[in-house]
Amino acid sequence: CLGIGDTSRMMFSTFTALAAAAAHRLPQSLVVQSRFGWSFGGAQHATRAARTSVPLMGVASVGDYVNVRYSLLHAKTGDPVSDTVFDIGEVSLVVGKGGFFPGLHARVPELEEAGKQVSFDLSPAECFGDANPGLGPAKVPLSSAPPGLKAGEQVQLANGMKARVTDVDDEGVTIDANHPLAGVPFKMELELTSEPKSAATALQEATFAGGCFWGLELAYQREPGVISTAVGYTQGHVEDPSYAQVCNGDTGHTEAVQVLFDPALVSFERLCDLFWERLGDNRYLLNQVGNDRGTQYRHGIYTHSAEQLKAAMASLEKQQASAPSKPIKTEVLEAKTFWEAEDYHQQYLQKGGQDAKKEAKETIRCYG
């Protein structure tokens, strides 16, 4: 997802170097080294690995759709944590399918019954990660920094990540792209608020391609009723393609977002409306979204049932009717195998500090 940076933002060479380092910061904790695939009544979904490794000793297990209530407290002070880019309180998730933070997925299967609150001690690796020296602190000469920066301010990196200004003196500006809570242990109070359900039966699947998958995924993460998201590659002819292979444009894949949603909370039609909102006038471009060009950036709605195909076609026709003289290039096809992208692409903008809470309004910035 190589985007064009906004030159009006506070970006300079050291920030770019930190962003490059961040792009390769893979959350390796709690990862299972096995591979599996499953189907939600349509095209196969192939993952590179389960997102979390958890003991199967409670009432919930990997792949279950659960509703939980939780809080995070600083282990040393007992102060509650509230300033995060994900929701805290009553939330829904698919165990082991990303979003939130690793410790939440790892601990849900340890709950032995619904309605009982349990306390857990969480290591930094289970929450916001250990501090990474490659992400800062780093000092930038004043001559290379925008004027007027003050300690405590935030600046935007070229890939959408945020960095804090930690110090300004006569020699330069010190910035740190680590999460402010990196390296901090926490306590978590957690309970199941209802009995777990199998995600394969309780949720429906939808697949959308709208150019760079980072920004589109964040838009769906924010949508109420969307329980889980993953980015990957679909509609191609090569098995298990890598990001580099897809970027070459010869595997037939397009970058896409796969959404698991609760039809009792959000409709497929609403998800299509959100897709068109995000796509904007790019709908009239062939094999292009913004500055991203090539068949790997073609846009489409890829359906998993006859009902979805009917609704997607009706959605396309409605959009075309609003501008009949401008042909829409978006394709609507039955979904083929969806191959999950490499782990560092998953929830990329959330990991970089952009707000993934439900109904968040912060402008989504997809920089690479």
Active site residues: 212
Distance CA 238, CA 105 (A): 31
Assign 3-class secondary structure to 292-345.
Answer: EECHHHCCEEEECCHHHHHHHHHHHHHHHHCCCCCCCCCEEEECCCEEECCHHH
In this structure, the number of other CB atoms found within 10 A of the CB of residue 211 comes to: 26
Instruction: Kindly report the number of other CB atoms within 10 A of residue 240's CB atom.
Output: 12
DSSP 23: H
What is the token pair recorded at 221? 């993460």
Residue 340 CA to chain centroid, in angstroms?
12
Q: How far apart are CA 143 and CA 199, in angstroms?
A: 54
Label residue 80 exposed, middle or buried (CB < 10 Å: 0-12, 13-18, 19+).
exposed
Whole-angstrom distance, CA of residue 109 vs CA of residue 55: 7
